[in-house]
A and B are shown apart, each in its own frame.
Chain A
Amino acid sequence: MRVPIALHVNGVERQAEVEPRTLLVQYLREDLALTGAHIGCETSQCGACTVLMDGQPVKSCTILAAQADGASITTIEGLAPIGTLHPVQQAFWDEHGVQCGFCTPGMVLSTVALLAGAADPSDETIRHGLEGNICRCTGYHNIVLSVKAAARAAAAGAEAQPVVDRNAALAR
């Protein structure tokens, strides 16, 4: 059996026929090559697979692609135009909220949703809001700093900026 689905992914309309047991994260990674949605645990615990579904963070390993029919999905690839960084991505870069980077796409997307609901979040709000995203590296300290920097940037009206090409900058 196959189920027809139609959804918007990063602003592009997609149609497909999927096996009922296809998970949303598999559809994104395997059919659309959006490998920024990571698979960490596959058991709903780690949040590496977090994407925004109609603006809300969800664990795409625990949603059937068929359940996402009609939804609007944003993955990390769709957060800012190619070659630019969204202010939340920039803040994670600036504050070194990243070590291995495995948790980062999920962290960034959860942060985008968190800041949409709380413009100036306290440490406690940040830690509670990001409970569904596990990081094995950073100890969370710099992630909290990154979220605060992103909140300041948003308050200052920051927009997506081109990625600085460090190699080119170093060569100069």
Chain B
Amino acid sequence: MNPSTFAYERAETLDDAIALLAEHGDSAKLLAGGHSLLPIMKLRLAEPELLIDIGRISELQGIRDDGAEIAIGALTTHQAIADDPMLRERVPLLADTASRVGDRQVRNRGTIGGALAHADAAADYPAAILALEASIVAKGPQGERRIPAGEFFLDFLTTALQPDEILTEVRIAAPPQGHGWSYQKLANQASGYALVGVGVLVVLDNGVCSDIRIGITGAAPVAWRARAVESALRGRTLDANAVNSAAAAAIDGVELLDDLHGSAEYRRRVTQGLTRRAILQAAERAAGTQ
């Protein structure tokens, strides 16, 4: 099964890619790992006339730690993130999330930039990206801008990226040493995608929760921060009772998906349950380091 016919251009530099995209507009699509785009092109859900292959642009590769922030190039594969020793130590929530995406072959080809730009409702990264308060850097003919994670995911398959912009890197201020973290995922058994995924970061100060951030993906058309749960737990000890009652608010104000993969009621229960589990595991990890 092939996609319908298209022309193919390989961009050698970021500026090349931006120029090609500006020239061809809506009739073109960027190609990174191809692990979301090629399947939907085979199904004729996308029929671009031109694919601009950005897969070899060196400016979009690699992971750098510049002291204040860690920058992850858009073309970094899920497997490279999962295996990176520095990320595993300083941003374990992201490395663990990457190790849970799809399967080994998918992780070898799929990129963080492609996954974020595609913004599948069932994608894994949004939970961690929201909890880490990462920034997404985009570049277009107008220049470069930073988009805070909280303003990036807009709707089903829709982000704040403009059609003429390229996602260049993800920037993360590493959470403080000794923080606790957890990514809890209920995978769809057929596809491997997240039916629900909950990413949590916890900072403890003498056993009391001084900071907690919770990102949830998969259960709704767009990932969200569980702010009501966060504020209920900030300043508290994270014992099972406090966490159990706070986690119920994980779905407050969210319209849950209701489809063949799971009813809204099922997703409500799973989201609350995984939120509880993720907070308790993150708290345990944070306590273990104190």
Interface residues of chain A, those whose CB is within 8 Å of chain B, are 1, 3, 19-23, 26, 42-45, 47, 50, 53, 56-59, 62-64, 66-67, 110, 113-114, 129-133
**B103 within 8 Å of A by Cβ?**
yes
In the complex, how many angstroms separate the beta carbon of B186 from the nearest chain A beta carbon? 16
Q: How far is the CA of A61 from the CA of B74 in the complex (A)?
A: 23
Please tell me if the beta carbons of A21 and B6 are within 8 angstroms of each other in the complex: yes
Query: What is the number of contacts between chain A and chain B, taking CB atoms within 8 Å?
Result: 78
Q: A42-B42, A131-B103 are in contact. Are A67 and B53 (CB under 8 A)?
A: yes
Cβ-defined partner of A129 (8 Å) among B2, B8, B104: B104
Partner of A20 from the list B6, B109, B191 (CB cut-off 8 Å) is: B6
Which one of B32-40, B200-208, B263-271, B272-280 is at the A interface?
B32-40
- Report if A63-B109 is in contact (Cβ < 8 Å); known contacts: A3-B8, A21-B3: yes
Closest chain A residue to B1 by CB distance? A42
- Inside 8 A of A47's CB, which chain B residues have their CB? 103, 105
CB distance from A157 to the nearest CB of B (A): 26
Q: Is B73's beta carbon under 8 Å from chain A? A: no
Q: Which residues of chain B (17-71) have a CB below 8 Å from chain A?
A: 31, 34-35, 38-39, 42, 51, 53, 55
Task: Identify B105's interface contact among A1, A19, A59, CB under 8 A.
Answer: A59
B122 to chain A, nearest CB (A): 15
* A20 near B8: Cβ-Cβ < 8 Å: yes
B210 within 8 A of A: no
Complex: how many Å from CA A1 to CA B6? 8
Docked-complex contact A44 and B39, CB < 8 angstroms: yes
Which residue on B lies nearest to A51, using beta carbons? B105
Q: Are B38 and A64 in contact (CB under 8 A)?
A: yes
**Pairwise interchain contact A59-B34, C-beta atoms closer than 8 A:** no
- Do B5 and A20 touch (CB < 8 A)? yes
Cross-chain contact of A64 among B7, B34, B192 (Cβ < 8 A)? B34
Tell me whether A66 and B109 are in contact in the complex, defined as CB-CB below 8 angstroms, given that A43-B42, A44-B35 are known contacts: no
In the bound assembly, the distance between CA atoms of A132 and B191 in angstroms comes to 10
Give bound CA distance, A62 to B34, whole Å.
7
**A20 contacts B108, C-beta separation under 8 Å:** no
Cross-chain contact B34 with A20 (CB below 8 angstroms): no
- Report 5 cross-chain contacts, Cβ distance below 8 Å, ordered by A residue: A21-B6, A47-B103, A53-B108, A62-B38, A131-B104
Asked if residues A62 and B6 are in contact (CB atoms below 8 Å), the reply is no
